Structure 1
Amino acid sequence: MKSVSVRSLVERYKLEILAAEDQLNREITRSKVHRPGLEFVGYFDFFPMNRVQVLGRKEINYLHRLTEEERNLHIGNIVKYRPPCFIVTANQDGLKYLMKYCQEEGIPLLRTSELTTEFITKVDAFLLQALAPEIAVHGVCLNVSGIGILLRGKSGIGKSETAHTLIRRGHRLVADDIVVLKNLSSTTLLGTHNQSTREFLALRSIGLVNVVRLYGRRAFQDETRIVLDIELTQWKDQDLNNELEYEPKFSDYMGVQIPYIELQLQPGRDVAGMIEAAANNWYLKQQGYSAAEEFMKRLQPE
């Protein structure tokens, strides 16, 4: 199971450590943080104990109003489940009683100056990506006109050369050779690099090139949502025809269905241009437009 340490949150968001500084190696294994509201009044039936617990103004003001006996009871009921950490937002103070319990139980108590809603949004996004199931595939990942494309094919078919042409036309490289795919949801697949290949493109007969050094910062981006899976294959005589619209095909990556297109290679065929056309056509379909439907309407007698 993938995990993120509490220390990584401290370093990423510059959090102040109020208690249990020696426990920052505790692991976070669940995405999405939790605000313990019902738990403070004794309802624990669905308490997500493995999540980061965020205490905003509502929670802290509620605790401040309790008697010492009530406060000890409610806080004690929560800390016994040993969540990864507590984070207090908006620089709230008066937390000595909370510091005492967290120190005794070895649960890091952290504080940020950020407002609750904004902070939760940032942390949720970070944990979702960091803890997402992932696989590595051989190919090239590109962002073409704002549309994420996974470009696959046998070794030597011309994936990197095609990517280079697209980069020169103003599109962006995400990853070459090894593409890391992350499952963010049942409908969202994120493509990124594995850090070691970041910004590099391997071109046969030339070697490694750094696309940022060659073409500037706009030639690269760290990640993109994959919406098209395009496979480059060798040309097959009599295999292609001129249908108005092809039956959609899909690839499956960790349960996420991605539209699949096969592009057959032939000398003189503008593969990069075909990929641009596929990306733009996918976008138009998302807007509800079909060229084939419009063409058929034009053929109908008025």
Structure 2
Amino acid sequence: MKKLTVEDLVKKFSLKVLTGEDQLQKNITQSRSHRPGLEFVGHFDFFPTERVQILGRKEINYLHKLSKEERRIRIGNIVHYHPPCFIVTAGEVELTYLTHYCKEDRIPLLVTDTVETTSEFIIMLDAYLLKNLAPEISIHGVCMNVFGVGILLRGQSGVGKSELAHTLIGRGHRLVSDDLVVLKKLSPRTLLGTHDEKTKEFLALRSIGLLNVVRMYGRKVFQDETRISLDINLTKWEKDSLNNELEHDAAYTDYMGVKVPSIEIQLQPGRDIAGLIEAAANNWYLRQSGYSAAEEFMSRIEADLSNDRGE
């Protein structure tokens, strides 16, 4: 898991630092921010103290309306819990009192300099926190986006994963990562595939060498990340081992508790593997909408049998 600090937020969102310049190395461990409301009126039973605290126009207006003593109590109660930082999205107007208490307790007080509303900023911040604090693992393989479907290509070294990726790029699809794929668990059902920065845009082809696909083919052939929807295992051809049933039983690969639909494709000279992967991607789309070609085929057979029996 990547370490995230208050300073990372300052750089990412171009935040102005009002207090706590020497505390920007504080770690952020929670993947969601918090907008204190009940806490300002004294309810702390469920106060998530380890989250980044966001103060918008509503909170600032409320504080402005309080007497000096009431304001001291309300702010002091929250500052006492030492959250990693406060971010004010409503500007710096009359924040002297807030600056005073944050400076006393050495808590970074930050201010946005953009025009987003508080809700818009929270959406962007939470997305950034979730992605950067998500549990992650690295696997050997290739990650592609085919017709908008994130696909993992796995198989033994030398089986032809990178060459296949190059073929798919030539057919208009996008590379995400070659050789080393970083998988991030965003939720119990969401797995994100990306690169490790060092391999970004690179594709390694045996006999050819290292290629920068963006330099060779343009920005359109690469994307930074994709949600993983299919796991495809590329294996060597085994005679008479292919399953010719109308529809296979569902198989899955488990990554950090996220189950990803999995299929096996055997390799043999002359097989259009890139075309099979495109078919797998399109078939995944159809299944998401509840359609099964095998079920439709069987319903037609049953209808014909019923007609033959005169039913």
Counterparts of residues 170-249 of structure 1 (less than 5 Å): 170-249=172-251
Is the Cα contact below 8 Å between 2:102 and 2:108 reproduced in 1?
A: yes
For 1:243-268, what per-residue CA distance to the aligned partner results, in whole angstroms no more than 9, with x for missing partners?
A: 11110100000000000001011111
Once the 2 structures are TM-superposed, how far is the Cα of residue 2 of structure 1 from its aligned partner? Answer: 4.3
Is the Cα contact below 8 Å between 2:213 and 2:222 reproduced in 1?
A: yes
1:21 partnered with 2:21: yes
* Runs ≥4 residues deviating over 6 A: none
Structure 2 residue aligned with 1:130, among 124, 129, 132?
132
Structure 1 residue aligned with 2:157, among 155, 158, 170?
155
SS at 2:30 equivalent? coil
**2:72 partner amino acid:** N
SS at 1:29 equivalent? coil
Structure 1 residue aligned with 2:257, among 255, 258, 281?
255
Is the Cα contact below 8 Å between 2:60 and 2:90 reproduced in 1?
A: no
Structure 1 residue aligned with 2:282, among 265, 280, 283?
280
SS at 1:149 equivalent? strand
For 1:2-27, what per-residue CA distance to the aligned partner results, in whole angstroms no more than 9, with x for missing partners?
A: 43111111111111111112211111
Once the 2 structures are TM-superposed, how far is the Cα of residue 92 of structure 1 from its aligned partner? Answer: 4.6
Alignment partners' CA distance in 2, 1:241 and 1:151: 20
SS at 1:262 equivalent? strand
Alignment partners' CA distance in 2, 1:222 and 1:289: 30
Alignment partners' CA distance in 1, 2:300 and 2:271: 29
Once the 2 structures are TM-superposed, how far is the Cα of residue 134 of structure 1 from its aligned partner? Answer: 0.1
17-26 vs 118-127, greater mean Cα deviation: 17-26
**Number of the residue aligned with 1:143:** 145
Consecutive unaligned residues in structure 2, runs of 5 or more: none
**Number of the residue aligned with 2:101:** 101
SS at 2:178 equivalent? strand
For 1:58-105, what per-residue CA distance to the aligned partner results, in whole angstroms no more than 9, with x for missing partners?
A: 111111111111111111111111101001113251111100000111
For 1:133-180, what per-residue CA distance to the aligned partner results, in whole angstroms no more than 9, with x for missing partners?
A: 000000000000100000000000000000000000000000000000
Is the Cα contact below 8 Å between 1:142 and 1:150 reproduced in 2?
A: yes
**Number of the residue aligned with 2:298:** 296
Alignment partners' CA distance in 2, 1:92 and 1:115: 15
Is the Cα contact below 8 Å between 2:138 and 2:180 reproduced in 1?
A: yes
**Number of the residue aligned with 1:37:** 37
SS at 1:28 equivalent? coil
**Number of the residue aligned with 2:123:** 121
Is the Cα contact below 8 Å between 1:57 and 1:92 reproduced in 2?
A: no
**Number of the residue aligned with 1:56:** 56
Alignment partners' CA distance in 2, 1:198 and 1:19: 37
Alignment partners' CA distance in 2, 1:3 and 1:210: 29
Counterparts of residues 7-18 of structure 1 (less than 5 Å): 7-18=7-18
Once the 2 structures are TM-superposed, how far is the Cα of residue 241 of structure 1 from its aligned partner? Answer: 2.8
Is the Cα contact below 8 Å between 1:30 and 1:131 reproduced in 2?
A: yes
Once the 2 structures are TM-superposed, how far is the Cα of residue 293 of structure 1 from its aligned partner? Answer: 1.1
**2:192 partner amino acid:** L
TM-score norm. by structure 2 comes to: 0.95
SS at 2:283 equivalent? helix
Consecutive unaligned residues in structure 1, runs of 5 or more: none
**2:5 partner amino acid:** S
Alignment partners' CA distance in 2, 1:246 and 1:92: 61
TM-score norm. by structure 1 comes to: 0.98
Is the Cα contact below 8 Å between 2:177 and 2:199 reproduced in 1?
A: yes
SS at 1:84 equivalent? coil
For 1:216-244, what per-residue CA distance to the aligned partner results, in whole angstroms no more than 9, with x for missing partners?
A: 11010000000000000011112113211
Identical amino acids, percent of aligned pairs: 67
Structure 2 residue aligned with 1:164, among 163, 166, 171?
166
Cα RMSD (Å): 1.0
**2:71 partner amino acid:** R
Alignment partners' CA distance in 2, 1:170 and 1:238: 33
Is the Cα contact below 8 Å between 2:55 and 2:90 reproduced in 1?
A: no
